[in-house]
């Protein structure tokens, strides 16, 4: 059964930025984009690279290792060398806090 987990305050992720959220043995990336807050798996699907070290450009995350890009809103792999989509997770904002459903 999925549950909501508090990630951080809304002011703890700068606009056009990403932070890492660890839960259990998994790593997630939580984004503050021009279209709102989103969450994906935190590890690139190409190699084992943490996406929170990447760059957010609009609603795109660029992996810092080989510059593969994903669409943040739906996890879609956009450019080589990535070809496997990222899993995405529901996010909500309540009382200036960001929550992820896992
Ligand atoms: S590890 Fe992300 S593009 Fe290669």
> Can you tell me the distance from the alpha carbon of 2 to that of 26, in angstroms, rounded to the nearest whole number?
15
Beta bridge partner(s), residue 71:
60
Where b means 16+ CB within 10 Å and e means fewer, 57-69 reads eebbbbbebeebb
The answer to whether the CB of 50 is under 6 A from ligand 1 is: no
Distance 71 CA to ligand 1 centre (A): 14
Which pTM was predicted?
0.96
- Structural domains of the chain, with CATH: 4-101 (2.102.10.10)
Q: Is 68 in the pocket of ligand 1 (CB under 6 A)?
A: yes
Could you report the per-residue pLDDT of 43-79, keeping only the tens digit for each? Answer: 999 999 999 999 999 999 999 999 999 999 999 999 9
Q: What is the pLDDT of residues 92-102, one digit of tens each?
A: 999 999 999 99
Nearest-atom index, ligand 1, CA of 47: 1
Residue nearest to atom 1 of ligand 1 (CA): 47
């Amino acid at each position: 059964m999925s549950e909501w987990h508090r990630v951080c305050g809304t002011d703890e992720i700068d606009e056009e930025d990403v932070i890492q959220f660890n839960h259990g043995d998994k790593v997630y990336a939580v984004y503050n984009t021009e279209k709102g807050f989103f969450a994906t798996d935190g590890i690139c699907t190409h190699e084992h690279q943490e996406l929170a070290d990447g760059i957010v450009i609009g609603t795109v995350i660029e992996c810092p290792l080989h510059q593969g890009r994903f669409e943040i809103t739906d996890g879609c792999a956009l450019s080589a060398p990535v070809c496997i989509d990222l899993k995405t997770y529901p996010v909500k904002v309540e009382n200036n806090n960001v929550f992820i459903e896992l």
